[in-house]
């Protein structure tokens, strides 16, 4: 039942390029966002849920990828994961200003879209009221 390491697709795999990673991340993000909306979860609630899922997935990957899994081997794998997470957090810190600027711009665009939709709804409501006072054609 164990899978050989070369049978598993991982981020270190040369067949797993940046474009594919970005595409899969975007698809997952959309699914997670939909899940959060369906369950009325605040954005902050997602981090611990996803962290737990990520660690559990990494642990299962270890168990499925080695001939004889062991507690000490799993601990080493979790240490490697922690280093990977530390690298990711360091990279995020380096790009913090860029992230804030991008996020602020995205929020402004989303607010502008909401305002435009609200204006269209208001205009449609006024049109309906006008047609209601004039009678139905």
Same domain as 100, residue 83: no
Number of domains in the chain: 2
Nearest to 2 by CA among 52, 68, 80: 68
Same domain as 46, residue 16: yes
Same domain as 42, residue 8: yes
Same domain as 66, residue 86: yes
pLDDT tens readout for residues 3-55: 444 444 455 566 678 899 999 999 999 999 999 999 999 989 999 999 999 99
9 φ/ψ angles, rounded to the nearest 5 degrees:
-90, 120
Same domain as 110, residue 75: no
pTM flag (> 0.75) = no
At 25 the pLDDT is 93
Q: Residue 114 sits in which domain range?
A: 95-137
Residues with Cβ < 8 Å from 77, sequence gap 6 or more?
Answer: 58, 59, 62
Nearest to 36 by CA among 78, 44, 71, 89: 44
């Amino acid at each position: 039942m164990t899978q050989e390491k070369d049978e598993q697709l991982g981020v270190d795999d040369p067949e797993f390029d940046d474009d594919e990673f970005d595409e899969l991340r975007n698809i997952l993000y959309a699914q997670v966002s939909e899940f959060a909306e369906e369950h009325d979860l605040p954005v902050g609630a997602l981090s611990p849920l996803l962290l737990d899922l990520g660690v559990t997935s990494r642990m299962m990957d270890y168990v499925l990828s080695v001939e004889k899994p062991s507690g000490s081997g799993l601990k080493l794998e979790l240490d490697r994961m922690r280093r990977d997470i530390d690298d990711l957090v360091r990279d995020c810190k380096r790009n913090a200003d860029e992230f804030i600027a991008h996020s602020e711009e995205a929020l402004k665009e989303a607010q502008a879209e909401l305002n435009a939709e609200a204006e269209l709804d208001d205009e449609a409501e006024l049109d309906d009221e006008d047609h209601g006072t004039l009678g139905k054609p």
